Amino acid sequence: MRGVVDMSEKKKKKEEAVEVKVEYKEVKLKPKFTFTVPVEAERITPDNFAGKSLDEISKLPIYEGNTRRALGDLFNIEGSPGSSALDTLITIEGDLSKVRRIGEKMTNGKIVIKGDVGHYVGFSMKGGSIEIHGNAGLWLGGKMKGGTIEVFGNVGDCVGGALRGELPGKGMKKGTIIIHGNAGAEVGRGMSGGTIIVDGSVGPLPGVDMRGGNIGIKGDCEGKPGARMAGGRVIIMGKVPAILPSFYIDDIRESIKAGPEKLTGPFYVFIGDVLADVKCGGRLFVSIPNNPHLKHYEELLVSVSDEEA
């Protein structure tokens, strides 16, 4: 009985921990002018701001093009950070389309971006959360290891992806990315864990070189989902032009979970990509109602059932 009591106490403590709300101390940033060249802003994280005075924050080094600047040269800064990353909130407002690497390697805290933002937001992020109220560039959450990113807009290519030339599985490992819009090509490129949910449509090659994790696409896919995948799941609720010939029909499912979210089908279930791994560890779920041109695959399921009988 003692073991049961201990389990109950652990569960209760876990639930209480989830309910704890953080009281943030906020730092606000706003560009002093319109940027015309890329700004490398990897210093903008709760980890780098926590426990510092505004003067110290304004002196953090940052690059505008190939010129070294102080953060205060490019941004108006006000407010006060928390004593740790956990209770530090950074709010950035304005045109940030030339600003890159915000939130890189952050471990805790929160960043809110009000406006369009450039590439590599949340790159190698380990914890905390980022909200983007606008559009984002390439490699959002690239090589992410934890935390949450939520985008109220559209995103470019390689969400959660590995960099060019890296081996499969070197992309996103943990964490959650939610996009309330469309995403570009190669969503989840080389990812090995975590969850990506796209409310809109995506470009070609979602899940390319995938080794684990979940990608849920509520809109359409331009084609070639799951190319070279050897693990993980890609779920497409909209239309897809065709299935790669290196995938095999395996089953029909009524619903599937993508991370914490349950997506309702029914779905065709394909396994593959045999060109990446003969064990076919990847799973591709494709909406049946939205893809009537794939109905011929059902004949293959029937023929397999007949042979087994």
Domain boundaries, the chain: 135-308
Residue 13: predicted pLDDT: 47
Residue 20: predicted pLDDT: 60
What residues does 270 pair with on adjacent strands? 249, 284
Residue 2: predicted pLDDT: 38
Reduced DSSP (H G I as helix, E B as strand, rest coil) percent helix, strand, coil of the chain, to 5: 15, 35, 50
Burial annotation 152-173 (CB, 10 A radius, 16+ → b, else e): bbbbbbbbbbbeeeeebbbbbb
Euclidean distance between CA atoms 260 and 57, whole angstroms: 37
**Dihedral of CA 275/282/264/142: which sign?**
negative
266: cis peptide before it, omega within 30°? yes
In the block, which residue shows the tokens 């890189």? 104
Contact 211, 229 (CB under 8 A): yes
Residue 136: predicted pLDDT: 99
Euclidean distance between CA atoms 148 and 298, whole angstroms: 38
What residues does 283 pair with on adjacent strands? 233, 271
Residue 1: predicted pLDDT: 34
**Dihedral of CA 115/204/271/285: which sign?**
positive
**Dihedral of CA 275/276/278/279: which sign?**
negative
**pLDDT tens, residue order, the chain (309 aa):** 334 444 444 444 444 445 568 899 999 999 999 999 999 999 999 999 999 999 999 999 999 999 999 999 999 999 999 999 999 999 999 999 999 999 999 999 999 999 999 999 999 999 999 999 999 999 999 999 999 999 999 999 999 999 999 999 999 999 999 999 999 999 999 999 999 999 999 999 999 999 999 999 999 999 999 999 999 999 999 999 999 999 999 999 999 988 888 899 999 999 999 999 999 999 999 999 999 999 999 999 975 555 555
Residue 17: predicted pLDDT: 44
Residue 261: predicted pLDDT: 84
